[in-house]
Amino acid sequence: MRPSFLPRPVNGPFDDPGLFIPLFFERRAIIFDLGDIYSLSAKDILKISHIFITHTHMDHFIGFDRLLRLFLGRDQHLYLFGPKGFLNNVEGKLAGYSWNLVKNYSNLLALHVTEVLPDHLITKDYICQNGFVPDQTSLKQPFNGLLHEEPSFSVSARILDHSLPCLGFTLKERFHVNILKDGVTKLGLEVGPWLKDFKQALFDNQDPDSKFEVSCGKTNQQKKTFVLGDLTKQIALITPGQKISYIADLVYNESNVEKVVELVKDSDHLFIEASFLEKDRDVAEKKCHLTARQAGIIAGMSGVKQVTPFHFSPRYVGQAHLLEKEVIAAYDEALRR
């Protein structure tokens, strides 16, 4: 199975948090957290359309300036999501610069910023040509856990406690379309860009009895027409969609554990902060972070298939293996329970 999403931590486990997720088959990506993103290429940053921020501690949000700097003057809609206070944080960042010349820009750069509150979402738009002056109007919508949805995937969040409201995220592919290359060859076709349209037709719930045209041949001049349902049976295997979760910065308490387990249950891959070793649990508690053992327990209780700890405290530089070992031991233990 070729996964649709290949999540990539932006930095090493001792550096600022951030998870870059390119969307396979599209020149687009989403990102969880915006710490220092200088290790991402400009080309990769410019693929980002949706930005999900757990909380605005500096190490999770300082990359906003770099991102904005690159998008300035471009034709792009950026969608940002963050916890309580997020609209103020974004407005504060934008107010830190002078925008007197942007009215001359011909491209439209728009930020659509959503603040996540327990019962509702508040969205405001900020337009570059208007000098990012906050919109007087805002859109209020009920919040039921879902932040963003498109035909092929969705992103959900829960509000966690990190001595301030902090969001945990999960990305869920609706279903996964595996292309059977033998099936493609048997029909005299070749793997190509048409497969993107084929997958899109499935995600758009197109009628299986409808016609689907494939452009093939060396110059894509030849057209072959199939019945979508028949073609699907011959070239595709539909399996459950991928689930990727990202949990950063939280206190270890009953309510947080319950919410995280419910959100990330059965993830294919969980990225979770594990700042301290269990022997330093008192420090972890004071700083409102997890220990590696606690992160491993949460991963095991959630039955995730793979766990990657990150956000290690600098006090353990050179000892990353100890944190990783502690996570895996606790994960195995909780999984067996």
- Contact residues toward Zn ion (CB under 5 A) are 57, 59, 249
DSSP state, residue 87 = H
Secondary structure of 244-295 as H, E, C letters: EEEECCCCCCHHHHHHHHHHHCCCCEEEEECCECHHHHHHHHHCCCCEHHHH
Q: Between 59 and 268, whose beta carbon lies closer to Zn ion?
A: 59
Q: Between 56 and 232, whose beta carbon lies closer to Zn ion?
A: 56
Going by their DSSP bridges, the two strands 48-52 and 28-32 should be labelled as parallel
Distant-in-sequence, close-in-space partners of 308: CB < 8 Å, separation ≥ 6:
9, 269, 270, 271, 272
The CA-to-CA distance between both ends of the chain, in Å, stands at 30
Q: Between 249 and 326, whose beta carbon lies closer to Zn ion?
A: 249
CA distance 69 to 65: 6
Least spacing, CB of residue 287 vs Zn ion, in Å: 8
Q: Between 59 and 326, whose beta carbon lies closer to Zn ion?
A: 59
Residue type at position 118 = P
Q: Between 64 and 198, whose beta carbon lies closer to Zn ion?
A: 64
Structure tokens belonging to residue 251: 């206190």
C-beta of residue 266 within 8 angstroms of C-beta of residue 210: no
Q: Between 33 and 268, whose beta carbon lies closer to Zn ion?
A: 33
Least spacing, CB of residue 200 vs Zn ion, in Å: 37
Angstrom CA distances, 326 to 54, 121, 260, 274, 301, stand at 24, 37, 19, 10, 15
Least spacing, CB of residue 289 vs Zn ion, in Å: 8
Least spacing, CB of residue 163 vs Zn ion, in Å: 8
DSSP state, residue 6 = -
Structure tokens belonging to residue 294: 């606690």
Least spacing, CB of residue 255 vs Zn ion, in Å: 18
Q: Between 249 and 324, whose beta carbon lies closer to Zn ion?
A: 249
Least spacing, CB of residue 64 vs Zn ion, in Å: 15
Least spacing, CB of residue 56 vs Zn ion, in Å: 9
